[in-house]
Structure 1
Amino acid sequence: MGDAEIIPIGTRGRPGRGTGKQPSSAARGLAPGARSASAKPAPRSSAGSTAGSTAGSAGTAAAKRSAQRPAHDEPQATAQVPVEHPVEPPVDRPAATTRDRAPMSGIPASDWLAAIQHGAREVFGEQWEPQLASFLAFLRRRVTGDYLVDEYGFDQEVTERFLMATLRPIAEKWFRIEVRGVENIPTEGGALVVSNHSGTIPVDGLMTLVSIHDHTGRFLRPLGADLVFRLPFVSSLARKSGATLACAEDAERMLTSGELVGVWPEGFKGIGKPYSERYKLQRFGRGGFVAAALRTGVPIIPLSVVGAEEIYPLVGNVPSLARLLGLPYLPITPFFPALGPLGLVPLPSKWLLEFGEPIRTDELDVGAADDPMLVFNVTDQVRETIQQTLYTLLMQRESVFK
């Protein structure tokens, strides 16, 4: 340690500096006395010029030496003079209360009304006020009982406002139903629409109902099986939508009163057939629908539906469990019951509905409905017309989902 060269702080390692005789300018800048001296404001002369610091001869010499050195050699110490701000006296403010912090405090009622109107316009469009008034009038009629229901339980207002509004997006967006031959449906008077039945679940009946209403404005009155009217919720909805029990008496009464009646003669054998037998019509029963048309003299309109076979491909059945539950069959599809409730979502197949030319019955003799051979021939004619149209539509359809 005796032979080592001691370099004081502030010399930046240059030899020949910091010999111990006098401190360097950087070291003097770190000294407390020098900083306090440089922080003092310089006095003004009578001529207005600023004089140097008069803190002593040592301070004057140090200032001269600092001015002679390059700017990059030594850092310049800058003194900051604290600025004193006037202190405002404390102001007594009232404490905030819960009422002052309420969410609706201070917002005028007109602003709330404008916000509600803007939101209703965004959701319901510019005609939201008439729609709201119509809905409130509907609720008033429901509460007071001022609405009409026919002898079969058909509620036109509920069917048009809720059932049709629910089924229409499914028919247009999901199944993309294409309707052909709608001009074969009479605009008024009784008529019997006879259709093939498929789909594991009778969705085709609902799609036929909404398609006929959207294209003709008429309400289809379906003839349902006994099981439909034994189910708790389904029976009430079926009655309100215009369905009635599939019996000859009700069918003839509706046709005589000028209603458009729909029937699916295949029944559960049609919707419950396996996927390998798709688009192959089952037996049409004993021709009871033909006898009803012959007695009332209304035309028979064959309807062919393509697309319903693919919504729930039936690959299996559990007959023992179905009998225990009182069901005609218990379907097994590729997605149900494997995926649970998600398996109940129908596949988005492409649907084609074609109404054939009406088969007239008013030209036949009185009592034709009591002739078994005539009833059988007309029944077979309707079945063959639907079957041949199904084959034609299958050839025209590009793919199942297009």
Structure 2
Amino acid sequence: MPDARVIPLHGPEHSLPPVAGRPGDRGAEPAAHRGRAPGDEFAELGEGIPDWEKQLADLLAFLRRRISGDYEVDEFGFDVELNDNVLLPLLAPLYDKWFRVETIGMHNVPADGGALLVANHSGTIPLDALITGYAVHEHHPGHRHLRMLGADLVFRLPVLGPLARKAGHTLACNPDAERLLRSGELAGVWPEGFKGIGKPYRDRYKLQRFGRGGFVSAALRTGAPIIPCAIVGAEEIYPKIGDIKPLARLFGFPYFPVTPLFPWFGLIGMVPLPSKWYIEFGEPIRTDTFEAGAADDPMLVFNLTDQVRETIQQTLYRLLTQRRNVFLG
């Protein structure tokens, strides 16, 4: 389709005759317009547009870009526009009204550059990861995106897999982690995996094994700082009191949870309990001070992994002693 021709609004053929006045006058300027900068009248028109009309115009522009494919994704499939305008806002009611999340130590998250956030995992369903990502984006001065490293099961699921990619997340493997960190991204990992998120309620806030320290190796190879992160409140949203293993095997899940409300109350049982959350970001642990090849030293990797784990565990204990009530904080 040919480009549209631009028709000038005030060309010579459309100019109005000057208003009669003294000889040489170019037309008397109305008093209301004297002393205004060019374009002020258009700014006033914009101010008069109702908010709902602006929101509708933004929505239509967003839909037009989605339909026409006029948007960008990175090499991991991260769709910033979809994430910021659709996916993250869905978490706002949970974050602000339901869990009433309080963050501590956000200044410990670097303003820019690669960094690896490491947190405890809990809650049966990984809402803790999503809520942490929302906290960083909304309350960090740089509104950074937390690029989460997830289990391959997530990316095999029909709907969640593509959405996870569009939200900027990728597989929890060293090559992907190192690519993110080298490109200056803030990556997040929950090294307890399914052992942490699927543990029984009686083991709440007891950290499970942190794997083989792959996240430490990725940080050492890229020189990215490690940010220990402790999350209190997620353990209580779906208290896991049982596991229906035959159903877990049938669906290919690591567990099929039984909670006080699920599956007894159907969909109502899937509503998380409104526990009060605290998320504390600890002081960064530097990795750029180690010599080249440190990532290949198993003892060093083990010691750093244990240091990160112990830091998170002690922070959890401290936050729990300060909490008076699960639901009121």
What's the TM-score, normalizing by structure 2? 0.83
Partner Cα separation in structure 1 for residue 70 and residue 214 of structure 2: 37
Distance 2:93 2:279 in 1: 17
AA aligned opposite 2:277? W
* Amino acid of the structure 2 residue aligned with 1:193: L
Which amino acid is the alignment partner of residue 260 of structure 2? P
Aligned counterpart, 2:246: 320
Equivalent of residue 129 in structure 1, options 47, 53, 70: 53
What is residue 38 of structure 2 aligned with on the other side?
A: none
Mapped to 2, the partners of 1:312 and 1:184 lie a distance apart of 30
Superposition pairs of residues 63-102 of structure 1, within 5 angstroms:
none
The CA distance in 1 between the partners of 2:248 and 2:180, in whole Å, is 33
Provide the residue aligned with 2:303 in structure 1.
377
Which of 146, 154, 159 is the matching residue for 1:220? Answer: 146
Give, in whole Å, the separation in 2 of the partners of 1:144 and 1:347. Answer: 41
Correspondence list, 1:273-284, <5 A? 273-284=199-210
Query: Which residue does the alignment assign to 1:288?
Result: 214
Distance 1:170 1:320 in 2: 32
Tell me the residue number matched to 2:90. 166
Partner of 1:87: none
Partner deviation per Cα, 1:340-360 (whole Å, 9 max, x = no partner): 111000000000000000000
Who is 1:237 aligned against? 163
Match runs of 1:288-367 below 5 Å:
288-367=214-293
Runs of 4+ aligned structure 1 residues displaced above 6 Å come to none
CA distance in 1, matches of 2:278, 2:271: 20
In structure 1, what residue type is equivalent to 2:72? L
Higher relative contact order (CA 8 A, sep 6+): 2
In 1: Cα distance, 2:134 partner to 2:251 partner: 31
Aligned equivalents of 1:139, 1:322: Cα separation in 2:
39
2:102 pairs with one of 160, 178, 187: 178
Could you tell me which amino acid in structure 1 is paired with residue 82 of structure 2? V
Aligned to 1:387: 313
Q: Which has the larger radius of gyration?
A: 1
Output one character per residue of 1:118-139: Cα deviation in whole Å (capped at 9) or x when no partner.
xxxxxxx942222221111111
Q: Secondary structure at the match of 1:223?
A: strand
Q: How many residues align?
A: 278
The corresponding residue for 1:207 is 131
Report the CA distance between 1:398 and its aligned residue.
1.7
Quote the residue 2:181 is aligned against. 255
Name stretches of at least 5 consecutive residues in structure 1 with no aligned partner.
1-124
SS in structure 1 of the partner of residue 316 of structure 2: helix
Q: Shift of the alpha carbon at 1:140?
A: 1.2
In 2, the alpha carbon distance for the partners of 1:398 and 1:215 equals 25
- Per-residue deviation at 1:320? 2.4
1:193 aligns with 2:117: yes
* Letter of the 1:259 counterpart: E
**2:276 partner SS:** coil
Runs of 5+ consecutive residues of structure 2 not aligned to the other structure: 1-48
Distance across 2 between alignment mates of 1:135 and 1:394: 43
Quick one: distance in 1 between partners of 2:183 and 2:208? 30
Q: Which amino acid aligns with 1:137?
A: A
Q: What secondary structure sits across from 1:232 in the alignment?
A: coil
Q: Which residue type is aligned with residue 342 of structure 1?
A: I
Percentage of pairs with the same residue = 67
**Could you tell me which residue of structure 1 aligns to residue 79 of structure 2?**
155
Q: Shift of residue 264 of structure 1?
A: 0.2
CA distance, structure 2, for counterparts of residue 314 and residue 145 of structure 1: 43
CA distance in 2, matches of 1:209, 1:326: 27
Query: Is 1:141 aligned to 2:62, yes or no?
Result: no
The whole-number CA distance in structure 1 between the counterparts of 2:191 and 2:138 is: 24
Cα distance between partner residues in 2 of 1:347 and 1:273: 17
* Counterpart amino acid of residue 202 in structure 1: P
Inter-partner Cα distance in structure 2 for 1:126 and 1:145 = 29
> Partners in 1 of 2:185 and 2:99 — Cα distance?
27
User: How far does the alpha carbon of each residue in 1:298-331 deviate from its partner, in whole angstroms, 9 at most, with x for none?
Assistant: 1000000000000000000012221122110010
Q: CA shift at 1:385, angstroms? A: 0.1
Q: What amino acid does structure 1 have at the position aligned with 2:225?
A: P
**Superposition pairs for residues 260-271 of structure 1, below 5 Å?**
260-271=186-197
Paired with 1:160 and 1:333, the residues of 2 have a C-alpha distance of 33
SS in 2 for 1:295: helix
Q: Deviations over 1:27-53 (max 9, x none)?
A: xxxxxxxxxxxxxxxxxxxxxxxxxxx
Q: Deviations over 1:370-401 (max 9, x none)?
A: 00000000000000000000000001112000
